[in-house]
Amino acid sequence: MINRWLVFITCMLVGGGLGSLVGLRTGLALGLALGSFIWLVFDSFWLAHLLRWLRVEQSNETPGVMISPMPKLPGVWGEVADRTRRLLKNRDHQWLEGQARLDEFLAAIQASPSGVVLLDAQGRIEWCNQTASEHFGFDAQRDVMQHIANLVRDPAFKSYVALNDFSGDVSIPGSASTPARPVKLSVHLHSYGKNRKLLLSRDITAVELAEAMRRDFVANVSHEIRTPLTVLSGFIETLQTLTLKDADRVRYLALMAQQSQRMQTLVNDLLTLSRLEGSPFPHISDWATTSALLAQCEQEARALSALLAPHGQKIEFESGPACEIAGVQAELYSAMSNLVNNAVRYTPEGGSVHVSWSLLADGHGQFKVRDSGPGIAPEHLPRLTERFYRIDRSRSRETGGTGLGLAIVKHVAQRHGAELLIESQPGQGSCFSITFPAARVRLIQAA
């Protein structure tokens, strides 16, 4: 500031000195006026320079970058320019830091498995993450400032908003929901700030499906147990109230034994399933020999065939190369015998069942059961491994089926890294195969 005064005074002195050379009084006065005028011209020139630079910088929309170089100005204007530049730099730095924090925060919300939508006081979308866009079919750019009620038109959501009670959530179908592939969303609104709302959405399709499956499962088990129980209690009542001939009593007791056996088989299958679901995956260090497994299956199949098809079925076993499979012997036997017994049970008398074990060219091991039974229509194939899914209910029950056999096979296959394949056509028999990965199969070297 002192410099400014010094320059001003120097201008006056030089002007006044020169003027006094021309004429003592008027010359001095004119010289002083000229000196101050020259100072004012220079001063205004530098100020204009500074203002022009500030105007240019003000129009700059890229923080952190200056579009024009700072003017080199003398004296106080130079200091003003320098201090302004530093202020601008500090402000830009803070803005960039704030922006980076906001970006990180938004990236974290983007990564959230839940849909997040920020609504203003009027219920218009201010921002939404990618998951919310997928849940509701929003376009994150185009739908900004659109009213949420115009985009989410589900009646349940509308009445949820209208009620203005956001203590709980509401379930609505997702935008990608179709009758074949329903998608269920749980939507919850939370108030925050000045009448703003945070909308959270969660895909609950899998949870709902699991809940529906649990309900179906309980209903199925109850139904399966109720039938033999009703028969049993009927016979018990008859035995208690009537005096029966020995032959009738023996017949009734045999029927009762059959029903209790049915319940026992069902409970055993249920326990097997729950063990399969609850236990850790089998270790690769336990090995089961294929010849022993097939021999056990053959024995059981022949006994079952003698019982169900007294006039005969052609049953063939081809044990193939002697191998070992890494896994739990009991589980492997359960899976294999389920497939073999199904073939025997569903193939009519005179039909054939062919069971084989083979090593494929790529080292995979394959257990295959082919029968000449009724075959299966294509629409049933994807659902066969569901618990209690049966095509021929009466045949299944007559032959002691529980509807859980193929579910057990699928679980065992999964636990051993194997693949269950079902090929069948109505009237052309069926072929069920379990293909084990090469890493789980080894040849037994002859001694």
Positions touching ligand ADP (CB under 6 A) are 338, 342-343, 346, 371, 373-374, 376, 384, 389-392, 396, 401-407, 430
Separation of alpha carbons 47 and 397, rounded Å: 101
- Contact, 189 vs 166, CB < 8 A? yes
Min CB(419)–ligand ADP separation in Å: 17
Q: DSSP string spanning 147-190? A: BHHHH---HHHHHHHHHT--SS-EEEE-TT--SSS--EEEEEEE
DSSP sequence for 60-87: --STT--SSPPP---HHHHHHHHHHHHH
Q: Which string of DSSP letters, residue by residue, matches 347-360? A: SPTT-EEEEEEEE-
Of 115 and 405, which CB lies nearer to ligand ADP in the complex structure? 405
Least spacing, CB of residue 191 vs ligand ADP, in Å? 51
Residue 227 beta carbon to ligand ADP: minimum distance, rounded to whole angstroms: 14
Which amino acid type is present at position 193? G
Largest CA distance in the chain: 160
Give the nearer residue to ligand ADP in terms of CB position, either 85 or 397.
Answer: 397
Q: State the nearest-atom distance from the C-beta of 254 to ligand ADP, in Å.
A: 22
Min separation Cβ 427 and ligand ADP, Å: 11
Q: Considering beta carbons, is residue 46 or 432 the nearer one to ligand ADP?
A: 432
Q: Where are the beta strands (DSSP E) in 372-429?
A: 419-424
The answer to whether the beta carbons of residues 440 and 434 sit under 8 Å apart is no
Report the distance separating Cα 366 and Cα 239, nearest Å. 51
Q: How far is the CB of 294 from ligand ADP (least distance, A)?
A: 17
* CB closer to ligand ADP out of 199 and 343: 343
Residue type, 345: R
Measured from the CB atom, the residue of 252 and 388 that comes closer to ligand ADP is 388
**Judged by CB, which is closer to ligand ADP: 376, or 418?**
376
C-beta of 266: minimal distance to ligand ADP in Å?
10
CB closer to ligand ADP out of 366 and 396: 396
Residue 424 C-beta: closest distance to ligand ADP, Å = 7
CA–CA dist 357, 369 (Å, integer): 9
Nearer to ligand ADP, 16 or 351 (CB): 351
Strands in 115-119's sheet, in edge-to-edge order, are 125-128, 115-119, 196-203, 184-192, 170-173
